[in-house]
Amino acid sequence: MQLKQGLGKLMAAYGALAAVGLTIFLWSSAFVGIRAALEEYTPGFLVLFRYLVASAVLLVYAMLTGMRLPEKRDLPAILLFGLLGFTVFNLGVSYGAVGVSAGSTSLLVGTAPIFTALLAAAFLKERLRVLGWLGICVSFIGAALISFGEGKGLHFEPRALLVLLAAASESVYFVMQKPYLRRYGPIEFTAYAVWAGTFFMLIFSPGLVGEVRNASLGATLTVVYLGVFPAVVAYASWTYALSCASASRVASSLYVMPVLTFLIGWWWLGEVPGSITVLGGVIALLGVVLANARKKGAEKTESLAAESVEQADHLLPGTRTTTHSETTGTPRR
C-alpha cells in the first residue's frame, strides 16, 4: 500500500513538473505571438478572435466529454472571473504590447505576485513583513525602469501601465479561483471562465470578419495558435499543476519565463532588449523574490496548515480556508 502511494505521489510530481514546463513555454510564446499578430490585427479584434477559437475548442471538448453545467449560484462569480482573468487581462496585454516588446511585457506581467501580496494583505488580513514591503517597492522601481526603457530614448511608455493593469487583474483572478477549482476541477473551471471572458469580448465583434479577410494567412494562423495552445492547453496544464502541488512551489518556476520570452522574441521577431529594460527586469524580479521570501519556520507552519486543509473534505465546497502559499501562484500568458 505504501509503495503504491509512493508511486502515485511520484507520478503526480512528474506530471506537475511536465505541466509547468509546457505552460511556461506556451505562455512565453504567447507574448511574442501577440506582438507578431498585432502587425496585422488591432488589439480588440485579436483578443476576440483568439478567444472565439479557444471557446470553440473548449465547446468541442465539453460536448465530447459531457461536461456538466456550472451551478446557478456560481454564475456571478464565474462571470467576474472571466472578466478579470481573461477579458481585462488580455485586453491590457494586447493594447500594451502595441508599444511594449514581448520580453518587457512578460517582465511587467511578472510583477503580478506583488499585486497578489497586496491583495492578500488587504483582503485576507495577511501581515506583510518589512522584507515584503521592501520587495514591493523594489519591484515597482523595476517596473518603472522597464516602462522608461520601452520609450524612445529615456522616455516613459504609457502603454506599460496597461500591462500592469493586466497583471493586477490576473492576480485577483488567481487569488480567488482556488475554491472553484476544487468544486469543478481545472478543465471545467477553465472552460467556464474562458466562455465568460469571451462573452465580454463580443463588444469587438463588429468588423471582425473584415479584419480576418484583410489579414495574411500567417497572421491568422498565429492568432489560431494563440487561441488553441496558450489560451486553452496552457491554462489546463497550469490548473492541473496547481491541483497537484502547492501554488508557491509551482509559481517559483515561472521566474524563468521572461528569459524564455526574450529568447523567443529574438528568434521570432528580432527583438533585442535595451540595457535599461534588462536592468529594470532584474530589479523587478528581485523585488518579487524579496516579497515572496519566507523564513523556514513560517514555511513549515504553512505546509502543515495546508495539509490540514486538504484533509477537510467534509467541509462544504467554497468554505475552505485559503493559505498564503495558495495565493502566490499567479501565472501569465
CB 226 within 8 A of CB 218: no
- Give the pLDDT of residue 150: 63
Stronger pLDDT, 152 or 204, i.e. the higher one? 204
pLDDT mean over 58-66: 94
φ, ψ of residue 171 to 5 degrees: the values are -65, -45
- Give the pLDDT of residue 37: 97
Stronger pLDDT, 118 or 105, i.e. the higher one? 105
pLDDT at residue 332 above 50? no
**173, burial (CB in 10 Å: exposed 0-12, middle 13-18, buried 19+):** buried
Model confidence at 16, in pLDDT bands (50, 70, 90)? confident
Model confidence at 124, in pLDDT bands (50, 70, 90)? low
Q: pLDDT tens for residues 226-282?
A: 999 998 888 778 777 877 766 666 666 677 788 888 889 999 999 888 888 788 888
Angle at 131 between CA 129 and CA 137, to 5 degrees: 110
Q: pLDDT tens for residues 274-292?
A: 888 788 888 877 877 777 6
Lowest-confidence pick of 85-94, 122-131, 197-206, 245-254: 245-254
All three cell numbers of 226, joined, read 494563440
CA distance from start to end of the chain = 40
Distance CA(98)–CA(101), nearest Å, equals 8
Q: pLDDT tens for residues 142-197?
A: 877 776 776 555 456 788 889 989 988 988 887 788 788 788 877 888 899 999 99
Collapse the DSSP code of 55 into the 3-class scheme (helix H, G, I; strand E, B; otherwise coil) and give the result. Answer: helix
Number of neighbours of residue 155 by Cβ within 10 angstroms: 11
Q: What are the helix (H) ranges across the chain?
A: 2-37, 43-65, 75-82, 89-96, 102-109, 112-123, 130-149, 159-176, 178-184, 186-201, 208-214, 217-228, 234-244, 247-252, 257-269, 275-291, 296-310
Model confidence at 3, in pLDDT bands (50, 70, 90)? low
Stronger pLDDT, 236 or 3, i.e. the higher one? 236
Model confidence at 294, in pLDDT bands (50, 70, 90)? low
- Give the pLDDT of residue 321: 33
pLDDT mean over 94-112: 85
Stronger pLDDT, 297 or 211, i.e. the higher one? 211
Q: Residues of the chain with pLDDT > 90: what percent?
A: 37
- Give the pLDDT of residue 97: 92
Q: pLDDT tens for residues 35-48?
A: 999 999 999 999 99
Q: What is the DSSP letter of 110?
A: T
Mean pLDDT of the chain: 79
Entry pTM: 0.77
Residue with cell 511585457: 105
- Give the pLDDT of residue 261: 87
Contacts of 145 (CB under 8 A, 6+ apart): 276, 277, 279, 280, 283, 284
